[in-house]
Amino acid sequence: MVVTALSRIVIRLLLLGIVESFGLFDTVVEAAGALTSSASCLGFPPMTTLRLIPTDNIVVFPGMDVTLPISVGDESTVLLVPREGTNFASVGIVAEVLQSVRLPGGVRAVNLKGLRRGIAGAAQPDSEGNLRVEVDERPDENPPAEEVAELELQYRALIAEILELRGDDGRIASFVRDIKEPGTLADTSGYSPDLSYAQKVELLELIDVKARLTRALELQQERLTELQLRKRIREDVDTGAQKQQKEYLLRKQMESIRKELGEDDESVIEEYRTQIAESGMSDEVREQAERELGRLERMGDSSPESQTIRSYLDWLVAVPWGVLSDEALDPVAARRVLDDDHAGLDDVKQRITDYLAVRKLRVERGIEPDRRAGVVLTFVGPPGTGKTSIGESIARATGREFVRIALGGVRDEAEIRGHRRTYVGALPGRLVRALRDAGTMNPVILLDEVDKLGNDWRGDPSSALLEVLDPSQNHTFRDHYLDIEVDLSDVLFLATANVVDSIPPALLDRMEVIRFDGYTVVEKTAIARDYLMPRQLKQNALREGEVAVADEVLRLVIDEYTREAGVRQLERELGKVLRKTATKVATGDVDVVTLDIEAVREALGRQKFFTEPASRTSVPGVATGLAVTGVGGDVLFVEVATMPGKGGLVLTGQLGDVMKESAQIALSYVRSHADDLGIDRSLLRDREFHIHVPAGAIPKDGPSAGVTIVTALVSLLSGKPVKNTMGMTGEVTLRGRVLPIGGLKQKVLAAHAAGLTDVILPKRNEPDLEDVPEEVRKAIRFHALGSIDQVLEIALENKAAASALAA
């Protein structure tokens, strides 16, 4: 190896002419001869001596034919070594001289064919001054077929794809298919015009066939990826050019057709000018419209921006500028309409009646409308209580158009304010679209599910509503798309929500909240009889005379098959009963169907809801509490158990942080007042308590269960059960005071629906009982108390049952 390296140095010196220029030719030749002699002495095998031919920037592979403008004399075989500048490849090609040829212009050349790889060894010039080198010929040594079979398959598949992309006529593909040797197959990469000189030299210098085939596969994979990308770019460019040409031809045809029909640019401009003049726009809006119309007129219809301007003008003239509905200002007639459409909801009806009365007095007395005196009513309550439908009734009662905007899940501020015209596909916001749909500037706009607005990186829609719902600001509302002021002061805004907790405080401050606390059984019965049954009869193709139902049957459906604050589930259950009835009528079994308990059981199945406080609280350690959920009021049970331990407290039932704190307060109160409560302190020593609030799958939170937890603890430790007719609510302090709570009306309605006849509530909530319907107040005894001692005195039975601690 040392000899070979030194020989290469000699070759480079001779090729560069450095030896002759310094007069060292004889010395170098002697050194080369000495190296050759040394190699023989060291036992290296004899090598073929061939004339060295450098190929500038050309890489020849075995099997490749090449014509070079050189003279090789009588040589039949030469060594071709790639050269770039002064850098030679470490591996060359032993090439056979096929023939000498004369090129155009009289230049002599030889036709060569690569045979196999060879590595140059010792070098010396011949008598004619040509450099000859000893060559270590390296024919391909094929590895076992199983080692390269998969590589061959992948390589052939890649070459096939490349040739297909290049539009091969099949000849090259046939040539590649005929190659059987893996080394020769890898060398076909040398024919590729896409490989660089350095990549070809890299393949030439790889003697190992498997390594060479692997590297060739990698290079061809890169080549295929590049070709596919070029094809895709070329197709995209061709498609775009064809589309533009097609659009141009179509546009020219449209222009010709429009001219024949008399609908050229001038007629379009005149049509817009007429619409602007008749639209009732304010001076500011008309000035903006005429400015945009002038731009459209100057640029013509062929400009790409013309369609954007036309869309903008279409929206400007679509807004009903100055158009107002004839408002009905009769409070009595409005109340009659509201009563016809909805049962109950006296708070809402009275508020609308008052609003119309004030509007009527302003008109009769010639008082100018006050833009700051607008009203934004927000209906908050459980689902199915009629919040959305009352909006339609208000519009009908006031003689206005009604538009509903669903805000649930809206996250983009542009949904409210609109997109700026710089964006592709820009549109005005929902408010401007609502005015367009209503056809007037004073409709009733219902913002449905305002508590379910979202926000993300696109903006906060609730912040955009701050201006809309502020009567002192919404007369100058500016939509981003129109970019002009739109007066919303004549709009009657209504909003609906299930809870107010998720509404931002700043937005809630602009709203007048009216709570929908749910319906009583009597109200549900009236709604079912007067509203739901007629609607379901119509939907199920039944006539009024074909079905008879008593109020007792309706109450059965309400009590045993629904548990809700509204009537949505009730309507579904009635629809199911009437579908069974329609089947009987359609099959000719009966002409008139009387719905009784048996018919209800047959249609709806077994009873779904039960009244169970009596059985649940018959043992010490269980108390009945009252709660408010997202679907109305509900009854919950607090269960307490104790066992020997280290005095810990276990809480289960998916309790929130506030409710967990209430449980800690309740236990601390009982431990600190054990003597006053008549509880043996030994029952509190070295014992753990477990408080559970079913159902475990439903999250619960809030402080109003404090009274219930204290009562359940004292009941367990004293052995006295809680009265089975008693429900309770209230927050408790460490000093035993009972603090006020919210949602009293919904809680009382839930207690009434559950069959409770006694309700304990905080003393300071007693005025809230005025909101409870009269029939409910008559059916329940209310105990407004201020301390936990009073609660325990009323809630617990006087006689102790068998103590749960006895075990």
Q: Catalytic residues, which ones? A: 704, 747
Residues constituting the chain = 807
- Closest alpha carbon to 624 in 756, 731, 783: 756
d(CA 402, CA 395): 6
Kindly tell me the sign of the dihedral angle through the C-alpha atoms of 472, 474, 476, 478: positive
CA atoms within a 13 Å half-sphere pointing along the CA-CB vector of 725: 9
Read off φ and ψ for residue 689, nearest 5 degrees: -120, 140
> What type of residue is 424?
V
Contact 764, 648 (CB under 8 A): no
Task: Enumerate long-range contacts of 567-571, CB under 8 Å, 24 or more apart.
Answer: 567/384, 567/385, 567/386, 567/519, 567/524, 567/527, 567/528, 567/532, 568/383, 568/384, 569/384, 570/524, 570/527, 570/528, 570/532, 571/528, 571/532, 571/535, 571/536
d(CA 498, CA 516): 9
Question: Please, is 326 exposed, middle or buried when counting C-beta atoms within 10 Å of its C-beta (0-12, 13-18, 19+)?
Answer: exposed
d(CA 226, CA 220): 10
Please work out, in degrees rounded to the nearest 5, the angle formed at the alpha carbon of residue 231 by the alpha carbons of 227 and 233: 115
What token pair was written down for 649?
């407290």
Crossing angle, helix 283-299 and helix 306-318, to 10 degrees?
A: 150
d(CA 664, CA 646): 15
Contact 663, 691 (CB under 8 A): yes
Pairing of strands 92-102, 108-125: antiparallel
- Closest alpha carbon to 318 in 435, 485, 152: 435
d(CA 531, CA 509): 35
d(CA 655, CA 637): 13
DSSP 306-364: HHHHHHHHHHHHHS-TT--------HHHHHHHHHHH-SS-HHHHHHHHHHHHHHHHHHH
What token pair was written down for 108?
């002599």
Over its C-alpha atoms, the chain yields an Rg (Å, rounded) of 48
d(CA 573, CA 454): 33
What token pair was written down for 397?
């009662």
What's the DSSP call for residue 617?
Answer: T
